[in-house]
Chains A and B, each alone.
Chain A
Amino acid sequence: MPTVGSSWGRYPHVTQNIVPLHWRGAELPTPDGTLLAYGNGRSYGDSCLNDAGNLLVTRGLDRLIAFDPGSGILRCEAGVLFSEILDLVIPQGWFLPVLPGTKFITVGGAIANDVHGKNHHRAGTFGEHVRQFELLRSDGSRLLCDRTQNSELFHASIGGLGLTGLIVWAEFSLQRIAGPWLATETLRFENLAEFFALSSASEKDYEYSVAWIDCCAPEAKLGRGLFMRANHAQVSNAKRPPRQRHLRMPFTPPLSLVNRASLRLFNTLYYHRPIAAHGLSHYEPFFFPLDSIAEWNRMYGPRGFLQYQCLVPPQNSAEVVAELLRIIARSGTGSFLAVLKTFGEREAAGLMSFARTGTTLALDFANAGPSTFALLDRLDAVVAAASGSVYPAKDARMSSAHFRQYFPQWEKLQTHIDPKFSSSFWRRVTE
């Protein structure tokens, strides 16, 4: 289990007072300093950190409150993990409506970051499926928020980075499934034009789609990768899957294991690996390829890593993504799993939601110091010029100027922020 009080990228390191929460009926603690809810620490940068302040650790709020197996509506405390929900509801024929790349996130964190998944074109973000939640504010009030009551706070809290108060519990809708299996297809593509063609061709008939992209490919092969798409299979009892989660990074190596040579080797091998065009996959390896190695974030060494996830509007997605890939390939850095996905045309669920119509690119960079930060600044310049944005849940370094440009609605969020709540991220990008 990662140390409570650090983020998934293990950068930056800050000092905070840890305040564990355990009972949903209890009053909000009132230590000196600012407050911030902290779920399972899967945010990559500093949006889940509160330097010199307090972290309200919500994992102790992990109780279920009500589940109707007829309608698929689940109400639970904010610290419940997606993994725990899946274990409970899949045997009863239900599934989470939206799943990000890890199942080890809390419900509260999913709302505060308005997480998206491989079905954005069909289902939007998690916030779209939230029916209501209780917000505990520092003045002691408990506000029931939904689309009619306290609706402004409801929309401000979805994607609100935990700043509007403590989400104590939430109620949301699940989707019906026949079983834990997916009918999958994997297709190789040679360039970005092929990616965009596959992506738009798949939107209508496939619930899930995502692409892995070779971020080390030379100019001639720029934008090559593997396109994966899937639907829930109508079988309920295929052969039981082998137990997942057997590997663990047992310690943090003194240096990052991710370097120019290992990256190039992995990306080339991964692109050329033999692929079965059609297959039946258990949902876990399809949705959470990295969850099978516990604490994989340690492989980047003691300095941690930075994830960069940006959104590029649809008008000129292809050129902008190509430009970003060119800059990354020239730098010789990047990650084993670079992800490219188009978002559908849906109205954002929250005031500050990151997922909007366009194309998103996500990849990790080992923290090599100033050169990494300079590289990410160059990427930001391209994204900003294209009127794109960068995902706060993944960020530890974007400039205040870029943030304000990416999210001009930040001033509106400011009016809904609880006066006692703050985060390292928020202070960095607004002060």
Chain B
Amino acid sequence: MRRVLIIGATSAIAEATARLLAARGDSLFLVARDADRLQTIATDLGVRGAVRVATATLEVTDFDAHAAVINAASLALGGIDTVLIAHGTLSDQIECQGSVDALRREFVINALSTMALLTPLANLLEAQGFGTLAVISSVAGDRGRQSNYVYGSAKAALSVFLGGLRQRLAKSKVNVLTIKPGFVDTPMTAAFKKSALWAQPAQIATGIVNAIDRGRSVVYLPWFWSIIMLIIRSIPEPIFKRLKL
């Protein structure tokens, strides 16, 4: 039985992961913006077997509120073993190209707020000498592409941050897991015709739980994205800049 804090708990991937954790009897503390949605999910996880489920609302861009939520989670769970950070927005690339405000907002949500949350959480786990910080980044952070380089560069910053944190915390027996999902079939994409590249949130969730259990450092989910991204990263710039990706 683990004590798990999930930030961004109403996202499809986080919810699917929470179901797997609930079914094995973990205690969960869920954080998201919308109280009604949190309650809907908390009730569901209770029926599925979670030993304890508590919730708190948080606007991740409200940096001053972070500490209180982390304290509340630690109190409610009686300590924290695992943290999953899953919040984020899929940025509108075109809007970000025309608006510095939009650019800044996307970086605050997808990079800075996560780094801010990780700062006290990393110190907490470092002090206790055990635990896992699992954070959802993206394959989009592996190389800048014209179609979503604002989102991608925020995730790239996050991935680099996580790499450094992992190295720092290794000696304290705290694992930092960087999760890089590819295309995921969430309700937002229901109308798209799905190719073989698309995965269900439940598949991603299984991959996340396995990676946490095995103490992995970086996982691409599903695994074949590691090969796709290896190829994309190795295309020379003179060729890459002519591609439509």
Chain A positions within 8 Å of B, measured between CB atoms, are 1, 3-5, 17-18, 20-25, 57, 60, 63-67, 88
Contacts and interface: CB of A to CB of B under 8 A. Distances in A.
B187 interface: yes
A63 B190 contact: no
B241 interface: no
Contact of B40 (A1, A18, A21, A23): A23
Nearest to B189: A20
5 contacts: A20-B191, A22-B187, A23-B37, A64-B47, A88-B47
Given A63-B41, A65-B47, A1 B187 contact: no
A116 to B, nearest CB: 27
A104 B184 CA distance: 21
B196 to A, nearest CB: 10
Interface of B: 36-37, 40-41, 43-44, 47-48, 185, 187-188, 190-191, 193-194, 200
A1 B190 contact: no
A88 B22 CA distance: 12
A5 B37 CA distance: 26
Given A20-B187, A23-B37, A3 B194 contact: yes
Given A1-B200, A23-B40, A25-B40, A66 B190 contact: no
Contacts of A63: 40-41, 43-44
B36 A25 contact: yes
A67 B22 CA distance: 15
A24 B44 CA distance: 12
Q: Which 10 A-B pairs have the closest CB atoms?
A: A20-B187, A63-B44, A18-B191, A64-B47, A20-B190, A60-B187, A22-B187, A64-B44, A67-B47, A25-B36
Contacts of A67: 47
Contacts of B194: 1, 3
A294 to B, nearest CB: 13
Contacts of B48: 64, 88
Given A57-B190, A60-B190, A64-B47, 11 more contacts: A1-B185, A1-B194, A3-B194, A17-B191, A20-B188, A21-B187, A60-B187, A63-B44, A64-B43, A65-B47, A88-B48
